[in-house]
Structure 1
Amino acid sequence: MALCRARPSLGRLSRILNTVVWSPPKPFVSYCSSVTSAKIEVNGAHLHYRLTGQGNHAILLLPGVMGSGETDFGPQLKSLNKELFTVVAWDPRGYGHSIPPNRDYPPDFFERDAKDAVDLMQTLKFKRFSMLGWSDGGVTALIAAGKYPTLIHKLIVWGANSYVTEEDLKLYNAVRDTSKWSEKMRKPMEDIYGSEYLAKTFDAWVEGMAHFSKNPYGNICRHLLPFIECPTFILHGQKDSLVPSFHPEFLHQQIKNSKMHVMPEGKHNLHLRFAEEFNQLVEDFLK
């Protein structure tokens, strides 16, 4: 599902910027329209994030496997309304600039990411906020919304699944060997992580996802969906070859206060390929 970094969207990657140490802001102070790059300690890890905007509505962008705020959300950091929103895009531990530690995938890695994400926003003094989660980031956002319902204002997910099927495992294993990726897909990731880290980490991710398939009904977080209370927007690309349509349809059925929108030409990276349309849908829903 979070094979986002193994898609043509990899061409959109740029070099990760150097980070600076920056003290957490007071809530809703006026930020300039530029993007701040910083690190802060959360739950024993030094998590990197990018921040922009000056709006009273705080939103957190959650990337997919091997992704970071910068690589996965360039059009959103640039173009989401900075007067209405304060936008935070983070690098989960082991990804992007949030190394060390190296990334691993224990059975509770999604729950760990969800706690890190929520605690990051709390540390930055955002008491209540919305979440936009893509692929693995969507799973993380679903868990956060189910476990911490009073903290999440609104939720938007796309390319996410709450359980793993045999069909999903075939998709993951088909791209498991990163040395067989095309140069266009492989090189930008190797420029960030190096070939060894990329190969080992992605292989470990496939193993981690296979672990969920052994749970009853392949459960990742389907048990939490009925506990999501916030308004939820589920987006799906009709041409998404990584996440079959039964996954967003199941989310829509199980999350009581949800709506679903299908983009006919959208693929897994619909927020990058159709950024203008995506951003408008997001802003309309968040308003």
Structure 2
Amino acid sequence: METLTFVSRCLLRNATKTSRFYSVCVSGKVSVNGVDLHHQLVGAGEHAVLLLPGALGSGETDFAPQLQGLDKNRFTVVTWDPRGYGCSRPPERDFPNNFFHRDAKDAVDLMQALGFKRFSLLGWSDGGITALIAAALNPKLVDKMVVWGANAYVSKEDVQIYQCEALRDVSVWSERMRRPMEQMYGVQCFQETWHNWVDGISRFIHNPNGSICVDILPLIRCPTLIIHGAKDPVVPSFHPQFLQERIRDARLHVFPDGKHNLHLRFSEEFNALVEQFLSQ
């Protein structure tokens, strides 16, 4: 499968550049760190961009407007399903204390296995945390970074949000929010994995200052765009402000009416903002 994916990527880069061709999305699995990681790839631009999904997310569930809407002439867009998520199963997902660092290593190693020497990162929510760690620990590989809905530490307020019934109990979620995950995982597996995620992310409160990756933020060297939805019910505004203060070359853009999934709700505006930043 790894060879087939590599050949497909070469064909993408050398094919006649027509809009019809760019609508094709190549998917496959690559063996990385002992796990077969599922990914999708579209476009043939010189600038490679990896999209990192949120908790339990996948390229399919989290980034459809970006796979469709980002400029395929300028960018090669890659999405991935982290180990234990989406189509990167088995294994079943677990949440050891280092699960964000493990995801960061997997993500970087996947891009290198696909042949990308340098690339940019777009990370949403948990994927934003993973992107922060990947950029901090691999400054020579990461060109630029965009994160939204991300946090570098867990506060008492965050734990209250995670543990509240409206977030923890998936049975009270709207059908629109629940259905894609239930279709991906099955009802019981989704519930169990989500509960395990809530407990896993909440445990960071026991670290000094609740840190997930606070200590390595100064290692980030790439230009960074932090995006925040002013109405995000999951990530309070002090988190993007903290990131802007700790990352040396960071700027903050706020969507006044944006919530946690602003890249889906305001996809055209989001895509245009990201394309402009990545092209500067």
**TM-score, normalization by structure 1:** 0.90
Q: Distance in 2 between matches of 1:29 and 1:108?
A: 36
Which letter maps to 2:13? V
Q: Distance in 1 between matches of 2:262 and 2:168?
A: 22
Q: 2:228 corresponds to which residue?
A: 236
Q: 1:10 corresponds to which residue?
A: none
5+ residue gaps, structure 2: 16-20
For residues 16-35 of structure 1, the aligned pairs below 5 Å read: 22-24=4-6, 25=9, 29-30=13-14, 32-33=21-22, 34-35=24-25
Q: Distance in 1 between matches of 2:88 and 2:11?
A: 23
Q: 1:222 corresponds to which residue?
A: 214
Q: 1:212 corresponds to which residue?
A: 204
Q: 2:62 corresponds to which residue?
A: 72
Which letter maps to 1:75? P
Q: 2:85 corresponds to which residue?
A: 95
Any idea what SS the aligned residue of 1:170 has?
Answer: helix
For residues 1-287 of structure 1, the aligned pairs below 5 Å read: 22-24=4-6, 25=9, 29-30=13-14, 32-33=21-22, 34-174=24-164, 175-287=167-279
Q: Distance in 2 between matches of 1:28 and 1:192?
A: 28
How many residues get paired?
269
Cα deviation for residue 199 of structure 1 reads: 1.0
Cα deviation for residue 20 of structure 1 reads: 10
What is the aligned-residue identity percentage?
58
- Alpha carbons 1:163, 1:222 under 8 Å: kept: yes
- Alpha carbons 2:5, 2:27 under 8 Å: kept: no
**TM-score, normalization by structure 2:** 0.93
Q: CA RMSD in A?
A: 1.6
Q: Distance in 2 between matches of 1:184 and 1:55?
A: 34
Cα deviation for residue 27 of structure 1 reads: 11
Which letter maps to 1:30? N
Cα deviation for residue 170 of structure 1 reads: 1.1
- Alpha carbons 2:67, 2:77 under 8 Å: kept: yes
Question: Relative contact order (C-alpha < 8 Å, sep 6+): which is higher?
Answer: 1
Task: Please identify which structure carries the higher helix content.
Answer: 2
**What's the CA shift string for 1:84-136, capped at 9, x where partnerless?**
00000110011111111100000000000000000000000001000000000
Any idea what SS the aligned residue of 1:48 has?
Answer: strand
- Alpha carbons 1:131, 1:141 under 8 Å: kept: yes
Q: In 2 relative to 1, CA 118–28 (structure 1 residues): closer, same or farther, beyond 3 Å?
A: farther
Cα deviation for residue 187 of structure 1 reads: 2.7
Stretch of structure 1 that moved more, 26-35 or 157-166 = 26-35
Cα deviation for residue 179 of structure 1 reads: 2.4
Moved over 3 A (4+): 25-28
Q: Distance in 1 between matches of 2:179 and 2:144?
A: 36
Cα deviation for residue 207 of structure 1 reads: 1.0
Any idea what SS the aligned residue of 1:70 has?
Answer: helix
- Alpha carbons 1:22, 1:39 under 8 Å: kept: no
Q: 1:11 corresponds to which residue?
A: none
Stretch of structure 1 that moved more, 265-274 or 26-35 = 26-35
**What's the CA shift string for 1:65-101, capped at 9, x where partnerless?**
0110111000110010100000001100111111111
Q: Distance in 2 between matches of 1:151 and 1:26?
A: 21
